[in-house]
């Protein structure tokens, strides 16, 4: 039997409709468009409506991903969702809700929590499921409504994040030239207090605020920004260098470098260290801010939808997030 490879056969995203400018934040916290632009690269981000949940957003991206894969709903063998802002704390999972809304029944569905590294972790799982011959078509979704867990009194975090979703179908192929070459994932819980989201709710900011804090712990997203920044640059640079070396691929062979969109300065620092042509770095941070597990698929879809991404292009992905978690991947796009 010829070897089975995992392949990314489609990509899609969904951007909520409410565009929030940096200047909107100037009205209620001590910040400025100039500071946010200079320190992060962010100009706008999109927030979901109050009644819209992360699974609602995920379903919208997933539908398009399945359609673009050219397969039917019945062909999907498993649904996995990465989110740090699920509809419900614990259960049901967003993956179950998304499956149900898509009309998928009696197939496995579960969520993973690996924060901003979520999409890389999803790729790793999908690749393993396919290459072990367990499943043929895996639907992976990164879906976030981070606006529902933001502390709008904390200027160090509330200006950074946005809502959105990205989805992809990962399918089995015998064609080596269309494969996901490699996925590196890692974590170190020693830094667990760098980024924290102690509680989630589908009710949005109001209901989170109304939950009585009996633990004394913060109820909204918290981040040690500067410490996270420094560790992100160092860890990502090492991780990306390692995956390139391991697979004998040089920076100049890469068609697009698609990093997690947390901070333009982190992206540029890693880009400089691996010496990649700046024209090959995909940037969406200025438009969408940090959408955590959705940021990489949203960025891939950004170049797909604008016609830049072509079948056979070699992509380098990397991400870093709460946990702390991180990861990178090399793959040939096959959409």
Catalytic residues: 116, 260, 290
From residue 277, alpha-carbon distances to 101, 172, 252, 319 in Å are 42, 32, 8, 19
Number of residues that bind ligand UT7 (CB under 6 A): 20
Q: Please, what is the end-to-end C-alpha distance for the chain in angstroms?
A: 25
Q: Does 235 bind ligand UT7 (CB under 6 A)?
A: no
CB of 248 to ligand UT7, least distance (A): 29
Q: Does 228 bind ligand UT7 (CB under 6 A)?
A: yes
CB of 47 to ligand UT7, least distance (A): 17
User: Which residues, in sequence order, are bridge partners of residue 329?
Assistant: 183, 317
Strands (E), 84-135: 109-112
Binding piece for ligand UT7, criterion CB under 6 A, among 30-38, 94-102, 274-282, 304-312: 30-38
CB of 234 to ligand UT7, least distance (A): 11
Alpha-carbon Rg of the chain, whole angstroms?
19
Q: Does 263 bind ligand UT7 (CB under 6 A)?
A: yes
Is 162 or 204 the residue whose CB approaches ligand UT7 more closely?
A: 162
Given the DSSP bridges, would you call strands 109-112 and 314-321 parallel, antiparallel or unpaired? unpaired
Contact predicate 315/254, CB 8 Å: yes
Given the DSSP bridges, would you call strands 314-321 and 256-259 parallel, antiparallel or unpaired? parallel
Whether residue 92 has a cis bond before it, omega within 30° of 0? yes
Residue labelled with tokens 């260290």? 273
Q: Does 102 bind ligand UT7 (CB under 6 A)?
A: no
225, 273, 280, 313: which one binds ligand UT7 (CB under 6 A): 225
User: Which residues, in sequence order, are bridge partners of residue 265?
Assistant: none
Q: Does 232 bind ligand UT7 (CB under 6 A)?
A: yes
Is 86 or 335 the residue whose CB approaches ligand UT7 more closely?
A: 86
Which residues sit at the interface with ligand UT7, rule CB under 6 A?
A: 31, 35-36, 39-40, 116, 155-156, 159, 225-226, 228-229, 232, 262-263, 266, 290, 320-321
């Amino acid at each position: 039997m010829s070897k089975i490879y995992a392949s990314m056969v489609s990509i899609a995203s969904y951007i909520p409709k409410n565009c929030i400018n940096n200047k909107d934040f100037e009205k209620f916290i001590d910040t400025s468009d100039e500071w946010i632009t200079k320190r992060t690269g962010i100009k706008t981000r999109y927030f979901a409506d109050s009644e819209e949940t992360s699974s609602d957003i995920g379903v919208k991206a997933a539908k398009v991903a399945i359609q673009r894969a050219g397969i039917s709903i019945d062909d999907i063998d498993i649904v996995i969702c990465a989110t740090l802002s699920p509809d419900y704390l614990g259960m049901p999972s967003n993956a179950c809700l998304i499956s149900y809304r898509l009309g998928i029944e009696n197939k496995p569905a579960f969520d993973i929590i690996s924060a901003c590294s979520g999409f890389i972790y999803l790729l790793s799982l999908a690749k393993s499921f396919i290459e072990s011959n367990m499943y043929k078509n895996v639907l992976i979704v990164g879906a976030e409504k981070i606006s529902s867990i933001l502390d709008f009194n904390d200027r160090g975090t509330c200006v950074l994040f946005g809502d959105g979703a990205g989805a992809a179908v990962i399918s089995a192929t015998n064609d080596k030239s269309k494969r996901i070459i490699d996925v590196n994932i890692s974590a170190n819980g020693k830094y667990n207090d760098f980024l924290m989201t102690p509680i989630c709710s589908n009710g949005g900011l109001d209901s989170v605020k109304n939950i009585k804090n009996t633990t004394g712990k913060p109820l909204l997203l918290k981040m040690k920004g500067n410490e996270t920044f420094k560790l992100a640059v160092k860890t990502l640079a090492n991780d990306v260098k390692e995956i390139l070396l391991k697979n004998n691929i040089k920076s100049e062979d890469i068609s697009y470098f698609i990093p997690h969109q947390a901070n333009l300065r982190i992206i540029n620092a890693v880009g400089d260290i691996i010496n990649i042509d700046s024209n090959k770095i995909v940037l969406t941070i200025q438009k969408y801010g940090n959408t955590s597990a959705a940021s990489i698929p949203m960025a891939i879809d950004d170049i797909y939808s604008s016609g830049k991404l072509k079948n056979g292009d070699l992509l380098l992905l990397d991400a870093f997030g709460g946990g702390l978690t991180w990861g990178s991947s090399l793959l040939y796009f096959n959409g």
